């Protein structure tokens, strides 16, 4: 009797069916996560005995999500190298659907915390999704496909909170139910149309020594260029996390922006970044190549952050939003370089290591951002520098650029053969 996760026979190639499905999967993954963002504070207050208790539980749930991603992204990546991408993606989507239903009816804070931990585990399926794109993309469209993934992520993160807020007006538990339904539909869609992308000949045995954060970093050390790009990307994500933490605090204190002003500004960043990653990245990479595109994007982002910190007016601050959005070219270019730098049997493990490192920064970034903002804007501050969190981000991006410049010099020359092979 065949497994429900085994690939059903069909004439569809991985490239034809896989790319739309992965884009939809990423979109629904982010929607499933972001739908509940407006709901969690109110849901926690229903169970918490005080505002201080509610704040503690909110912090614990954010940390639990990221810690589980940190621990399990390498596991899911290694499992996808052993059993194929399809099984791991479908299993994690099914787990996500069940978990969202669990959180919709969770009877208390401890159970909500358990639900967030499971959500962090299942959200680690992005490692298998990235590996799938690496499997089926040729040199000519790899950066474009990773850019489309980034665009799908952006669309989900822009629309999810708004939709979640609307649903929560009807019922506080409704966003979780809708998220479960979306994940369930995604699972059925994948079960019917998603082919396997990793041929049996390209699989490797599962190893506990590699399927953990420390082991995955050791594996990266075998590829110095990839390790350098992972370090660069980690600095970039840390800068981004600090920026996200202080954006509203900074603009409200410095320019007197309202909730609407902040919402529109963040939407502008998100929408224009989606346009850059979904439409422009292919043209830019074809003109400049992946290494130059990556370095240009990092430079633009550092410039934008420095500009945000130095802006003396709301108009000057907003003028750097287009520069910030154009920096979205760096991530797809880096992902594409990494994908062509390792073999098919390592894609999952490498993507898992990347995701693990980045999830850890999402724990640290809010703490760093809040501390920098409080220290340099507090009444009586020795040196009042409201823009310090953005300057810190610019410094991290400058470091990221230096490390990336070192790494891309050590990347193997691109191969022009199409990597897509028939997978059973």
Whether the CA torsion 196, 200, 202, 208 is positive or negative: it is positive
**Cβ-contact 403, 295 below 8 angstroms:** no
Q: What is residue 406's three-state secondary structure?
A: helix
DSSP codes joined into one string, 117-135: HHHHHHHTTHHHHHHHHHH
Please give the pLDDT value at position 17.
62
Put residue 84 in one of left, alpha, beta given phi > 0 → left and psi -120 to 50 → alpha: left
Closest CA to 336 of 174, 166, 148: 148
**Cβ-contact 285, 297 below 8 angstroms:** no
Closest CA to 304 of 258, 264, 273: 273
Q: What is the pLDDT along the chain (424 residues), one digit of tens a residue?
A: 444 444 444 444 555 567 888 888 788 777 877 787 778 777 888 887 676 677 788 778 888 888 898 888 889 888 988 999 889 999 988 988 998 898 889 888 899 899 888 888 887 678 888 888 888 888 888 888 999 888 888 888 788 888 888 888 899 889 889 989 988 988 998 888 888 888 888 888 888 878 888 888 888 888 899 999 999 999 999 999 999 889 988 999 899 998 788 888 888 888 898 899 988 999 999 999 999 999 999 999 999 999 999 999 999 999 999 999 999 999 999 999 998 888 888 888 888 888 888 888 888 888 899 889 988 988 777 788 999 999 999 999 999 999 999 999 988 765 544 444 445 4
Q: Residue 397 half-sphere exposure, CB side, CA atoms within 13 Å?
A: 28
15-192 and 210-411: same fold? yes
Closest CA to 119 of 14, 29, 225: 29
Q: How far apart are CA 424 and CA 30, in angstroms?
A: 29
Q: How far apart are CA 182 and CA 27, in angstroms?
A: 10
Per-domain boundaries in the chain? 15-192, 210-411
**Cβ-contact 255, 236 below 8 angstroms:** no
**Cβ-contact 167, 175 below 8 angstroms:** yes
Measured at the alpha carbon of residue 213, what is the angle toward residues 207 and 215, in degrees to the nearest 5?
A: 45
Specify burial of residue 176 (Cβ count, 10 A radius: 0-12, 13-18, 19+): buried
The token duo for 51 is 């505002």
Q: How far apart are CA 391 and CA 403, in angstroms?
A: 18
Cβ-based neighbour number of residue 312 at 10 Å: 10
Specify burial of residue 233 (Cβ count, 10 A radius: 0-12, 13-18, 19+): buried
**Cβ-contact 118, 148 below 8 angstroms:** no
Report the CATH fold assignment for 210-411: Growth Hormone; Chain: A; (1.20.1250)
Closest CA to 334 of 348, 353, 354, 349: 354
As a whole number of Å, the end-to-end CA separation of the chain is 17
Please give the pLDDT value at position 417.
45
Cβ-based neighbour number of residue 215 at 10 Å: 17
Q: What is residue 210's three-state secondary structure?
A: coil
Residue identified by tokens 């190893």 is 207
Report the CATH fold assignment for 15-192: Growth Hormone; Chain: A; (1.20.1250)
Mention every residue, 6+ apart, whose C-beta is less than 8 A from residue 352: 73, 74, 75, 76, 77, 78, 124, 127, 211, 216
């Amino acid at each position: 009797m065949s497994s429900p996760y085994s690939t059903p026979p069909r004439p569809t190639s991985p490239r034809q069916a896989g790319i739309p499905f992965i884009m939809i999967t990423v979109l629904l993954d982010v929607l499933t996560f972001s739908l509940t963002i407006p709901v969690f504070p109110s849901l926690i207050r229903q169970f918490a005995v005080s505002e201080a208790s509610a704040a503690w539980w909110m912090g614990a749930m954010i940390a639990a999500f990221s810690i589980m991603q940190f621990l399990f992204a390498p596991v899911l990546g290694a499992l996808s190298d052993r059993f194929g991408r399809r099984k791991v993606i479908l299993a994690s989507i099914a787990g996500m659907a069940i978990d969202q239903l669990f959180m919709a009816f969770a009877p208390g804070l401890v159970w909500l915390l358990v639900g967030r931990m499971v959500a962090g585990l299942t959200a680690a399926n992005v490692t298998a999704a990235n590996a799938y794109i690496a499997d089926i993309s040729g040199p000519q469209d790899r950066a474009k496909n990773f850019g489309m993934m980034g665009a799908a992520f952006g669309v989900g993160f822009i629309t999810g909170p708004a939709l979640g807020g609307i649903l929560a007006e009807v019922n506080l538990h409704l966003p979780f139910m809708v998220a479960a339904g979306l994940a369930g539909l995604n699972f059925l869609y994948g079960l019917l149309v998603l082919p396997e992308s990793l041929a049996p000949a390209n699989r490797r045995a599962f190893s506990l020594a590699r399927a953990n954060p420390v082991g995955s970093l050791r594996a990266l050390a075998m590829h110095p260029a990839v390790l350098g790009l992972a370090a660069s990307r980690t600095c970039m994500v840390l800068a981004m996390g600090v920026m996200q933490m202080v954006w509203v605090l900074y603009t409200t204190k410095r320019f007197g922006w309202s909730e609407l002003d902040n919402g529109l500004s963040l939407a502008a960043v998100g929408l224009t970044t989606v346009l850059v990653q979904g439409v422009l990245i292919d043209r830019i990479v074809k003109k400049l190549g992946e290494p130059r595109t990556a370095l240009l994007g990092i430079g633009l982002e550092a410039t934008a952050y420095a500009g945000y910190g130095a802006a003396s007016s709301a108009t000057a601050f907003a003028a750097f939003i287009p520069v910030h959005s154009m920096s979205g070219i760096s991530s797809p270019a880096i992902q594409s370089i990494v994908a062509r730098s390792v073999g098919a049997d390592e894609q999952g493990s490498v993507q898992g290591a990347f995701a693990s490192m980045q999830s850890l920064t999402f724990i640290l970034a809010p703490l760093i951002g809040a501390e920098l903002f409080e220290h340099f804007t507090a009444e009586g501050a020795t040196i009042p520098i409201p823009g310090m969190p953005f300057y810190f981000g610019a410094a991290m991006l400058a470091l990221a650029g230096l490390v990336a410049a070192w790494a891309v010099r050590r990347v193997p020359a691109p191969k022009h053969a199409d990597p897509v092979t028939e997978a059973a």
